[in-house]
Amino acid sequence: MPVAPGLELGTDDLVRRAVIQALACHFRLSIESIEDAYLVNFRQYFGPEMKDLRRLQDEGLVDVTEEWISVTPRGRLLVRIVCMVFDRYLREAQARASYSRVI
């Protein structure tokens, strides 16, 4: 059969894909463009992720302003680490793994 089973992307998947793609391909992201395209308040929607970005900003990997998230020249070599901040499935897997280790 020419039809294979697949996955259907939800709205959250689409928002996160756009964020990760912009950071990985262009090394910068317009916060306003995501808010306009997906009708979300970026800082509220990505609250935990923004906390992680502050840590990366302290390490000199990203610059976060009111309007933009930019990967610094130093952070370009580690852009995957920056993108991993927005990966919901990775975050959930890490939470499960740390919970399992506690038990």
pLDDT digits (tens, 9 = 90+) for 5-35: 777 889 999 999 999 999 999 999 999 999 9
pLDDT of residue 60: 95
81-96 mean pLDDT:
84
pLDDT digits (tens, 9 = 90+) for 48-64: 999 999 999 999 999 99
Res 82 pLDDT > 60:
yes
Q: Does domain 11-102 have CATH number 3.90.1310.10?
A: no
In whole angstroms, give the CA distance from residue 90 to residue 29: 21
Q: Lowest mean pLDDT of 23-27, 60-64, 74-78, 87-91, name the range.
A: 87-91
